[in-house]
Structures are given as structure tokens and as C-alpha cells.
Amino acid sequence: MVLRTGIDLIEVARIEEVIARHGKHYLERIYTPAELEQCGRRVESLAGRFAAKEATVKALGCGSGVVTWKVIVILFDDRNAPSLTLYGAAKEKAVELGLSAWSVSISHSQSHTVAMVVAIG
């Protein structure tokens, strides 16, 4: 059995600053239309998804230069539980590592967001 983990902690204000500086360009480079629709303009939700994407890259053991942000999709189901779907290079890397199931957890405080990803195969 293969087990991989990734964790990321981010300041919500950092995402807010990047959005203020780069706006639509940043949003469309990092998030899919479905992710943006679920988040609206809630910075905490965007920060949570970014942290989950970063944690996924860490679990895959590759840099964000190898895997682009939009091939890692974080959506919430009707029970408000996050799910992770991989496409493109991220999916290829997961297959190469023998990873077949993913779990993601996201938590917020007023100033920070943390995400943890566990992958097994």
C-alpha cells in the first residue's frame, strides 16, 4: 500500500492581497469555473481551495511548475464536504505513484486556512 500526505497553511490576507493586485487574472489562473462559482467572492473559501491544491502538490511530491493549479479541482458536495479530482499531469503523477483514493480536509480561523490531503493506493 502507498500512503502520501500533504499539508498547507496560508494566511487569508495573502490571498486577499493577491486578488486585489491581480484580480480576474489570478482567479482564472488558479481556479476552475466550477470552483469560482462555489466560492463566490468569499476569500476564505478561495484560500481553502488554494491550500488544498498546494497540499495536493506536496502529496504528489512535485512542484507547481510540473502540475498546474487548474488540474487539481476542489469542490464541495451537498453535505459541505470537500472532494478532490485530478486531471492532466496531476492525474498522471498520481497514477505513476499508484495513488487511487484521496481525502481532503480544510479548516479556517479568522486569519489562516489549513488544508490536509491524504492519498492511498
Q: Report the alpha-carbon distance of residue 63 to residue 70 in Å, rounded.
A: 14
Which of 58, 91, 93, 112 is labelled catalytic?
58
How far apart CA 67 and CA 83 sit, in angstroms, is 18
DSSP summary character for residue 31: S
Q: Which residue range is the domain that position 65 belongs to?
A: 3-120
Per-residue pLDDT, 35: 98
What pLDDT does 97 receive?
97
Residue 93 appears among annotated catalytic residues: no
Give Cβ neighbours of residue 11 (< 8 Å, ≥ 6 apart): 111, 112
Residue type for position 32: T
pLDDT at 121: 95
Residue-wise pLDDT tens digits, 47-99: 999 999 999 999 999 976 789 999 999 999 999 999 999 999 999 999 999 99
CATH of the domain at 92: 3.90.470.20
Q: Which of 70, 91, 108, 112 is catalytic?
A: 108
- Does 112 participate in catalysis according to the annotation? no
Q: How far apart are CA 89 and CA 69, in angstroms?
A: 10
Q: Domains in the chain: how many in total?
A: 1
